[in-house]
Amino acid sequence: MNPKAIRYRSFWLFLLFLFAAQANAFSFGKDDQAKCACMPDFTKLVEQNSAAVVNISTTQKIKHPHRLPPGMEMPDIPEDSPFGDLLRRFFGEQGDDEAPEMESQSLGSGFIIDSHGYIVTNNHVVKDAEEIIVRLSDRREFKAKLVGTDSRSDMALLKVDADNLPTVKIGHSSKLKVGEWVMAIGTPFGFDHSVSVGVVSAIGRNLPSENYVPYIQTDVAINPGNSGGPLFNAAGEVVGINSQIYSRTGGFMGLSFAIPIDVAMDVVKQLKAHGKVVRGWLGILIQDVNRELAESFGMDRPEGAVVLKVMPDSPAAKAGLQVGDVVVEYNGKRIHQSSDLPLEVGRTPVGSTVPVTVIREGKRKTLKVTIAELPAEEELAEQAGKSHPNKVKTDRLGLVVEKLSAARRKELGTGKRGVLVRKVGKGPAREAGIRPGDVILMINNKDVTDPAQFHKLVKSLPGGRSVPVLIQRGDAPVFLPLKIPK
């Protein structure tokens, strides 16, 4: 082939290559544009919904927040010392019940569900608040009234005196799918109307010590101050209420949890109507079934909830449930794991009679149970005290106490008196200076003999004033003033 023909052919091959490259680039660009068109337009969602998201600030009064531990006293400070007033203000005078209270403030989020001023937030945002202030996006502020709270779902309903307020659109959390885009608007660290986006990581997530909420797990950045704020889907509908995060640092680490809006609106409906939430109650203590337990119960695979204890006079006791039964089906719904059962029981109308299928000695058996109302936490603690006479939790004081052994009583010389303090949680007992390992001998001038009797004494204590508590710490007895909440 002559050189002229070779050059001619090479020229056309080069043009063909350029055409193919441009066509490929054009095709790639069209695909990218199609992909971008499928992404949710968060700017429009923010414009449409941010006005209905509010900032919530609360004020609490704390008495003796830095009180000296029992046994320690303020040192003698010269009258002209520059540190005297500072130390007295910080710690208060020893034994001075009239020492000034200090104010503590907290921030959270919420959203308007009704144009007449109903606002939803978390219970922990407004718990123990002396005053609740709601601030709108247009900078108007209102003092809010607390309509009702539900600690078991961490929900609270507020009401402000206003009309024609912007509202959110309520969606259906039951339609959520893993991988779906979601968006949060709230007040993280006090920064109003901050927006963060992510996807649904899991649905129906059960958290430790949370029995009545099947949480939505997301990777949306949630931080302190976001609590109580709305979680939107790509259609601009509220599908959840941002409530908790999993963190080892106190900040966001990629795991956040929201209360499903279907659960939340049921709570709101009851709080509006009655100021409280009524749930179904079965009256059993349960645990999960692992592979080894399933084999020991003669089951093909691990599933259900095994009954550890049956509360006296409970619906379960009346229906004939027994310790060792494995609940595998409740009201026609399969119980895959133990955490499924409290959710199903809690949403059952009180007074309903439902079938409960158990595996007993390797055989399936169906019982009819008439569901009762879930008692208050203090009543449940008392029920647990009857089932566990050697150990009782008193939520009113934040204490867990247990029976003092005869040998220990003899060693301490307390006679027939005394219960051992096992745990001290947040509450009046901690504020009074009671510690784990203390022995409570008397409360309100009455001898304490055992955990169940102690629980009854605590339940009968008058609210709103201090009562004396005699404890023994080591070899030394000491009286402490215990302020009982109203």
> Which CA distances in Å does 309 have to 76, 235, 259, 325, 486?
56, 46, 29, 10, 33
Q: What is the C-alpha separation between 264 and 109, in angstroms, rounded?
A: 15
Q: What is the DSSP string of 357-389?
A: EEEETTEEEEEEEE-EEPPPHHHHHHHHHHH-T
Output DSSP code: residue 237: E
Q: What is the C-alpha separation between 276 and 253, in angstroms, rounded?
A: 34
Q: What is the C-alpha separation between 408 and 474, in angstroms, rounded?
A: 11
Helix (H) or strand (E) holding 8: helix 3-38
Which residue(s) pair with 411 in the sheet?
none
Q: What is the DSSP string of 309-321?
A: EE-TTSHHHHHT-
Helix (H) or strand (E) holding 305: strand 305-310
Q: Are the CB atoms for 439 and 404 separated by under 8 Å?
A: yes
Q: What is the C-alpha separation between 294 and 296, in angstroms, rounded?
A: 5
Catalytically active residues are 124, 154, 227
Single out the residue of 247, 213, 215 nearest to residue 231, CA to CA: 215
- Mapping DSSP onto H, E and C, the string for 98-150 reads CCCCEEEEEEEEEEECCCCCEEEEEHHHHCCCCEEEEECCCCCEEECEEEEEE
Beta strands in 181-262 (DSSP E): 181-186, 194-205, 215-218, 230-233, 237-245, 256-260
| Helical spans, DSSP H, in 187-301 | 261-274, 291-296
> Which CA distances in Å does 387 have to 310, 420, 448?
8, 18, 19
Q: Can you give the C-alpha Rg of the chain in angstroms?
A: 30
Q: Are the CB atoms for 201 and 218 separated by under 8 Å?
A: yes
Tokens of 468: 């004396």
Buried-state track 339-367, b at ≥16 Cβ within 10 A, e below 16: bbbbbbbbebeeeeebebbbbbeeeeeeb
